[in-house]
Chains A and B, each alone.
Chain A
Amino acid sequence: ELKVEQNPLFLSMQEGKNYTIYCNYSTTSDRLYWYRQDPGKSLESLFVLLSNGAVKQEGRLMASLDTKARLSTLHITAAVHDLSATYFCAVDKRETSGSRLTFGEGTQLTVNP
């Protein structure tokens, strides 16, 4: 059974600071996703990482993937209040031709002024 673990689960940080969210998974995977979710809202796709060593950046967020270590990171640079949300990583393990995502527990990020 594929397990996906995120840490930390709760993160409170000051504006302007940097921090990293970690996502470990238990078996080999075809791709890894990072999503953002605001309270009561849907899942907003942030990044899709397809191969070992993949690095993607969008604004203050940067995601990387190490398939050998089964680890992905989401790095936050110079946090701002608007980044407050819950961040999920999800691993795609395709048994059939379709997708099947296993999500982590989520990291609830609060950025304080």
Chain B
Amino acid sequence: EPEVTQTPSHQVTQMGQEVILRCVPISNHLYFYWYRQILGQKVEFLVSFYNNEISEKSEIFDDQFSVERPDGSNFTLKIRSTKLEDSAMYFCATDIQNTGELFFGEGSRLTVL
């Protein structure tokens, strides 16, 4: 059973539409991350989240992106107005600080048409 659960596994959307990707992390983990992987390319850091606020973000994570943990359980990534180039696999990850283990979810494949 996956330790980090992501939904949906695959979403197809029209350009300009809003998308929300969800992650249910391991319950006692403190740090949450989003990474993305464009097909055939390397994995890229988007954002880290701790104590209900963004800890660090990359240049990819522009104003179209937002993250929140609305109910203390689910960790969400929202893309406000999707672009074709947002098509990618989005991975949620979590860890306990300083344990050295970073757990990745199964990923959500986003296809923007």
User: Which residues of A approach B to under 8 Å, CB–CB?
Assistant: 31, 33, 35, 41-43, 45, 48, 50, 88, 90, 95-106
Contact = CB atoms under 8 A, between A and B. Distances in A.
Given A42-B91, A90-B43, A106-B42, A98 B33 contact: yes
Interface residues of B, number: 24
**List of 8 A-B pairs having minimum Cβ-Cβ separation, nearest first:** A98-B48, A48-B100, A103-B43, A43-B104, A98-B55, A103-B42, A98-B31, A42-B106
Nearest to B6: A42
B91 A43 contact: yes
A102 B59 CA distance: 13
Contacts of A43: 43, 91, 104
B55 A96 contact: yes
A98 B45 contact: no
A96 B100 contact: no
Given A42-B104, A45-B102, A50-B100, A101 B42 contact: no
